[in-house]
Amino acid sequence: MQLFHPTTIDEAVALLAAHDEARCIAGGQSLVAMLNLGLLDPPALVSLRKVEGLDRLTRHADGSVAMGAAVTQAALASTDLPGALAVLSEAAQQVAHPAIRNFGTVGGALCHADPAADLPPAFVAADARLTAIGPDGARSIRAEDFFLDYLTTALAEDEILTEIRLPPPPPGSVGAYHKFARVDGDYATVSVAVALTLEDGICRAARVVLGSCAAQPLRLDAADAALADTQLDSDAVARAGALLQDSAEPLADMRGSADYRRRIIPGLVARAVEAARARSEAPA
Amino acid sequence: MTAAVAVVLAVNGEALSPLAGPGETLLDILRSRAELTGSKRGCNTGVCGACTVLVDGKAARSCLMLAADCAGREIVTIEGLDGDPHAALLREEMAGAGAVQCGYCTPGIIVALTDLFRGAAGPPDAGAVRHWLGGNICRCTGYVSIVEAAVKAGRRAVGSEPGMPGQ
Amino acid sequence: MKGLPEAIGARLPRRDAADKLAGAARYTDDLSRPGMLHAAILGSPWPSARILGIDTAAARALPGVRAVLTGADLPDRRWGLFVYDETPLAAGVVRYVGEPVAAVAAADLATARAAAALIEVDYEELTPVLSIEAALEDGAVPVHREFGSYEKRPDLGFERVNEIARQEFSEGDVEAAWADCDVIVEGVYQVPSQSHVYLEPVSAIAEFDRAGKLTVRSANQSVNKVQATLSRALDLPMSKIRVVTPAVGGAFGGKSGVTVQPLVAHLARVTGRPVKLTLTREEDFMAMRRRHPAVVRVRTGAKADGTLIARDLDIVYDGGAYAEDSPAVLGFGLLMARGPYAIPHCRLRGRAVYTNRLRAAGFRGYGNPQVTFATEAQIDELADRLGLDPVELRLKNAVEAGGRWIGGQTITSCGLRACLTEARDTSGWAGKRRDGGIGAGGKRRGVGVSAFAHICGLLGTSATVRLLEDGTAALAHSAVDLGQGAEAALAQICAGALDIDVDRVDSAPADSGAAPYNWSTGGSRVTYMVGRAVMQAADAVRQQIARHAAETFECAPGDIEIRPGGRAGIVGVPERELSFGEISLRAHYRTGGPIIGSGALVYDGEAFDYKEAVIRNYPFERVGTYVFGAHVVEVEVDTVTGKVEILRAWAAHDVGRAINPTSVEGQILGGFVQGAGYALLEEMLWEDGQPVNPSMMDYKVFGALDLPLDIHPIIVEEPEPSGPFGAKGIGEPPLVGAAPAIANAVAHATGLRLRTIPMTPERVLDALAAAAER
């Protein structure tokens, strides 16, 4: 295995193109564990550590946010983001443990595409746009189109995720991330990321995304529609929860059976929606 | 296998250039090449926290850092905290509280809490300590004595620094 | 504490703490020897298979490889604790996934691991035995076809294929007694396989010197057991084996027998070089030890006033692929199955069986947590049926000093009532009991209690105390310190017995070549048993000191008193005294010779009364003296997810005398938390014989955020007449009481009785859903 330290994205892309089955390494907090366990043995690793500018997080005046793929989870966790984008920092705060977040990156977590991880559902809820750069230049991918399957993304082998852009959150928007796990810091048994736009107590738009309930973050137009234009009364929330529950195809593992995970979805959705709504009522 | 290469590391203030194989981690190198065995290997997958060191001033799992990717970084291990005032207070309080049993998790806990104390604006409360220690598994103590010792040490350490809120 | 020396009951910091806090303590894997090779193992992929052939050519050809061993390369010398069924590498047949099949020694670890991966093994898969039921069904496949030919010490009465042992403790007439009961409760309880998860994975370094003497440094709980087993495994006299224990990173019973020492010694022998093997966490999970899972059937009957009348208990422990401690774990579980209650009619029977899963062995509690989970749940079920307060029901039936244990032994000291009342009163039991089931946001609160017993005692031990030239003392014993504070407690006992400052007592780490015999650090026995040996040794030293003083002062030794601070003087004449230093110099250079005292004993309490009780196939005549505890736990059950959260706990333990209260509290807190994991979280899982969660990512233990800080250790001191300064053991009991108290709290919160642990969120939610349908 070779380890390369390119200093520019173009150089990194060229290295990926030149080495079959090469992988990018950023913080390495999942990848090195997999190397240690012998689950991966790539012929080459392209470290993004020395590529300039990937660790910047910028909050623009219009409320939009841009973050480089190498922004650490700790940096995201400690950033106060406007409106519904709070779902991102809240999810980042619940990734593993402080030392992991210090080095684990946002881009790394998204590219690892573990359906039980915390950041993917949060970034889908926030409707993030992911910038990928390959030999043919850059393209933008919506977060919900990015996660294709278990540990599989829409990135081509020679593409690198470089930046994540978040559109300005609408006025009155709130977000929350509610995670249920066996113990603190474990992967989620089920998690719920919520972004709501509220106007005088009425929910104008909703994005509810489940983690650990399918091979990729699970969002349903119908469930979001069930919340839209309601006062988030318990019937509406239960309807959304039931729709998600019907569509969920969770894995079964030592964290819980598929049936168990399905059963707790409505209750957790209700808690996540309530947490988000409470945020709109709390003094800013 | 690709040949090992020399990696220039700054460990506990000293320049080292140990050989590192491409898949070798910082923990591997510290323990086997630098004779710094205070960082422990409990799981090698980043779960237990016994291998925690400071990398560029931040708590890190040394088992999850490729040694070759640490070139140029400042590494501080438990052995490098011997003159550290925060670590000294933590050690004193933990010894007195019976917060050390088998001791295998202890170095990682001292390193992690030192990181917490350095970054804290005031003495961390029990909640902050537990939060910070969430990733350091201890199988012996049940954590209560560790948290209580750390809170006491924090009151002495962080509150008494110039420019910090008083005790 | 009138009349107690200063060192007894002192909250002194451990002497090993400073090095551990500095990262300077050396554990086995931290050590290196000149020319040392590194070893790696290859584990079996099948739960049951015949090894048809092993091709090691590619592994041997790898540069840097110095030796490759398979089972066929090793002599047929088996070892065990009761049944001699173990070999260092699988011999012809593999019996669990992960069982070491081949081992490599190479110049570096990466090469050793790469070579192990190149070994090709040709297997013929056999039908595995994957459950207790499968092990015992008619026509079951034997896990050990050669079982009949194994040496057994003693033979423990197996009757069916796959039975490792079958035992019974009975008294009274159970069948007739049911008619006297107004209420009878009955249930089947299932308890899981818990992994020790000591934070330091198993490790050993072996080397031979040119004279053929073997030295092994390893994580273990008994240098003497390791020495004896190595002697058998390697066909070497014990005089040619030295076993040393560096710092041990936790054990909890999991390092109690030999682990990888025989294999590493074989590698050292064939290579002529020092060899180190440290298991990866995953290998340790798969190839070492675990707590016995068990199925417990219990029936208990009582009078309407709460008087317990009869109990019938049948337990089957899954011992896994090798017998190890199973016969003793079974027997000890049965000895605890009456509980700390005077139930006149009991039939307590059990078996341990082989299956094609990882061997089960001793783990903090040693068969007792399995039994006590079931029996203490049943006491609450009875209290429910009778409309009695659970604490009151326990107090009504609690044994007392002077009473008899099942088997006939007299209980010599008993703080059980004090434990129950202290836990009740400090927890605010009555109020919490009234408010059961109350909670907000889909959560319900409850509080539960457990009462339980354990023993401390068992087998042989010894110690020496030497007076050094300056009057300080050197204590030697082989009680390996696993982190629990054995070294400190024994040094304090020695200091107490000599009435000197503990800083004036040195004690060396366990080393079979330097310190006297101790059976094991296990069974909660070190403070009590080794402490007694230390008392004897120190007493012999005191007598010699007194003789020297009497000779000097020309008086009778009986006129000499030992004074605090290391002085001996004439009773009633304060100015006539000598320091220990002066006396020791006299002994070293003038007369008598250096002062040395020794102590040695085998547990010598009352034996079982074979006329009063039916005791079948129990390997010991006497086990130990009894210790007691009671826990109260408050929980909150989330009805949305089924998750149980511990809010607060009070753990009261009768330790006879707390030699070091801080260490005692450390045992109580740590044991309770491991027990909470057993109750709520931890379970090793297999599917088709394949381990499902053999890593710390998948097998979880509680972290700092998962538990409350409100866990309150309560020390009760009811001195044990035979104990050093009255002290008894505390290592295991705190784990034993946790699961039943938590289950009883969950029952109080929800009205539901969960008879299977761990009470995972899914199991709790299933129970809630099933109740809702009724």
Closest in C280, C483, C670 to B103, CB measured: C483
Task: Please name the residues in contact with A221: beta carbons below 8 A apart, sequence gap of 6 or more.
Answer: none
- H/E element holding C532? helix C531-553
The candidate with the shortest Cα–Cα distance to C302, out of C190, C392, C410, is C392
Please judge whether C640 and A271 are an interchain contact, meaning their C-beta atoms are less than 8 angstroms apart: yes
Q: How far apart are CA C521 and CA C731, in angstroms?
A: 10
Which region holds residue B69: left if phi is over 0, alpha if psi is between -120 and 50, else beta? alpha
Closest in B47, B102, B130 to C705, CB measured: B130
- Domain residues for B108? 83-158
- Do B90 and B102 reside in the same domain of the chain? yes
Dihedrals phi, psi of C249, to nearest 5 degrees: -90, 60
CATH code for the domain in which residue B125 is found? 1.10.150.120
Please judge whether C761 and A185 are an interchain contact, meaning their C-beta atoms are less than 8 angstroms apart: no
C664–B contact, CB cutoff 8 A: no
Question: Which spans in chain A are helix H?
Answer: 9-18, 31-36, 73-77, 86-93, 98-103, 106-112, 119-125, 143-146, 221-227, 234-247, 258-281
- Cis status, amide bond into C758, omega within 30 of 0: yes
From chain B, the residues in CB contact with C199 under 8 A are 40, 42, 48, 50, 102, 104-105, 137-139
Q: Would residue B49 count as lying in a domain?
A: yes
Q: At what angle do helices C390-397 and C368-386 cross, to 10 degrees?
A: 110
> A touches which chains (3+ CB pairs under 8 A)?
B, C
Please judge whether B59 and A96 are an interchain contact, meaning their C-beta atoms are less than 8 angstroms apart: no
- Cis status, amide bond into C740, omega within 30 of 0: no
From chain C, the residues in CB contact with B134 under 8 A are 703-705
Nearest residue of B to residue A30, measured between CA atoms: B64
CATH class of the domain comprising C32-126+202-278: alpha beta
Q: How far apart are CA C63 and CA C115, in angstroms?
A: 9
Nearest residue of C to residue A274, measured between CA atoms: C441
Q: What is the mean pLDDT of residues A207-228?
A: 98
The architecture that CATH gives domain C294-457+608-773 is 2-Layer Sandwich (3.30)
β partners of residue C346:
C171, C311
- Do B60 and B48 reside in the same domain of the chain? yes
Give the mutation candidate from B64, B70, B105 for the A interface (greatest A CB count, under 10 A): B64
- Do B40 and B95 reside in the same domain of the chain? no
**pLDDT under 50: residue ranges of chain C:** 1-2
Give the mutation candidate from B24, B45, B61, B138 for the A interface (greatest A CB count, under 10 A): B61
- Domain end: B80, B115, B143, which one? B80
- Do B87 and B145 reside in the same domain of the chain? yes
Give the mutation candidate from A95, A114, A255 for the C interface (greatest C CB count, under 10 A): A255
What is the structure's pLDDT at C689? 96
C57–B contact, CB cutoff 8 A: no
What is the structure's pLDDT at B163? 37
Closest in C640, C681, C705 to A264, CB measured: C640
- Do B69 and B13 reside in the same domain of the chain? yes
Whether C260 contacts C35, CB under 8 Å: no
From chain A, the residues in CB contact with B25 under 8 A are 32, 36
Q: Using CB atoms within 10 A of its CB, is residue A7 exposed (0-12), middle (13-18) or buried (19+)?
A: exposed
From chain C, the residues in CB contact with A253 under 8 A are 692, 698
Closest in B23, B25, B135 to A99, CB measured: B135
Global confidence as pTM: 0.97
What is the structure's pLDDT at B2? 60
Q: Using CB atoms within 10 A of its CB, is residue C238 exposed (0-12), middle (13-18) or buried (19+)?
A: middle
> C touches which chains (3+ CB pairs under 8 A)?
A, B
Give the CA distances from residue C265 to residues C67, C277, C310, C709, in Å, rounded to whole numbers and listed in that order.
13, 10, 52, 45
To the nearest whole Å, the CA of C470 is away from the closest chain B CA by 28
C698–B contact, CB cutoff 8 A: no
From chain A, the residues in CB contact with C691 under 8 A are none
Chain B (61-100) residues lying within 8 Å, Cβ to Cβ, of chain A: 61, 63-66, 68-69, 71
Taking the domain C17-23+459-602, which CATH number applies?
A: 3.30.365.10
What is the structure's pLDDT at B22? 83
What is the structure's pLDDT at C509? 84
Where does chain C hold its CATH 3.30.365.10 domain(s)?
Answer: 17-23+459-602, 294-457+608-773
Please judge whether C21 and B106 are an interchain contact, meaning their C-beta atoms are less than 8 angstroms apart: yes
Please judge whether A268 and C761 are an interchain contact, meaning their C-beta atoms are less than 8 angstroms apart: no
> Does the structure show a pLDDT above 50 at B167?
no
Find tokens 């119908």 and name the residue.
A222
Q: How far apart are CA C110 and CA B33, in angstroms?
A: 14
- State the pLDDT confidence band at A283, using cuts at 50, 70 and 90: low
From chain C, the residues in CB contact with A267 under 8 A are 442, 640-641
To the nearest whole Å, the CA of B124 is away from the closest chain A CA by 15
From chain A, the residues in CB contact with B115 under 8 A are 98-99
Give the CA distances from residue C232 to residues C227, C236, C238, C346, in Å, rounded to whole numbers and listed in that order.
9, 7, 9, 40
What is the structure's pLDDT at C3? 83
What b/e string do you get for B141-160 counting C-beta neighbours within 10 Å, with b at 16 or more? bbbbbbbbbbbbbbbbbbee
Chain centre distance of CA C86: 21
- Give A100-115 pLDDT, tens digit per residue: 999 999 999 999 999 9
To the nearest whole Å, the CA of B124 is away from the closest chain C CA by 15
Considering its fold, how many domains does chain B have in total?
2
Q: Would residue B165 count as lying in a domain?
A: no
From chain C, the residues in CB contact with B103 under 8 A are 16-17, 19-21, 25, 247, 249, 483
Please judge whether A183 and C442 are an interchain contact, meaning their C-beta atoms are less than 8 angstroms apart: no
- Give B3 or C104, the one with higher predicted confidence: C104
Q: How far apart are CA A48 and CA C484, in angstroms?
A: 45
- Domain end: B59, B80, B101, which one? B80
- Do B75 and B87 reside in the same domain of the chain? no
Find tokens 């409100």 and name the residue.
C710
Q: How far apart are CA C68 and CA C87, in angstroms?
A: 16
What is the structure's pLDDT at A62? 93
To the nearest whole Å, the CA of C706 is away from the closest chain B CA by 8
The candidate with the shortest Cα–Cα distance to C476, out of C468, C248, C9, is C468
To the nearest whole Å, the CA of A74 is away from the closest chain C CA by 18
Closest in B22, B115, B136 to A1, CB measured: B22
To the nearest whole Å, the CA of C698 is away from the closest chain A CA by 7
Q: What is the mean pLDDT of residues A221-248?
A: 98
Where are chain A's structural domains?
173-281
Whether C324 contacts C257, CB under 8 Å: yes
Decide yes or no: CATH 3.40.50.2000 for domain A173-281. Answer: no
Please judge whether C673 and B142 are an interchain contact, meaning their C-beta atoms are less than 8 angstroms apart: yes
Chain A (214-273) residues lying within 8 Å, Cβ to Cβ, of chain B: none
From chain A, the residues in CB contact with B65 under 8 A are 28, 32, 103
From chain A, the residues in CB contact with C642 under 8 A are 264
- Domain end: B80, B108, B141, which one? B80
What is the structure's pLDDT at A284? 47
Q: How far apart are CA C719 and CA C158, in angstroms?
A: 40
What is the structure's pLDDT at B164? 40
Regarding an ipTM greater than 0.90, the answer is yes
Whether C290 contacts C318, CB under 8 Å: no
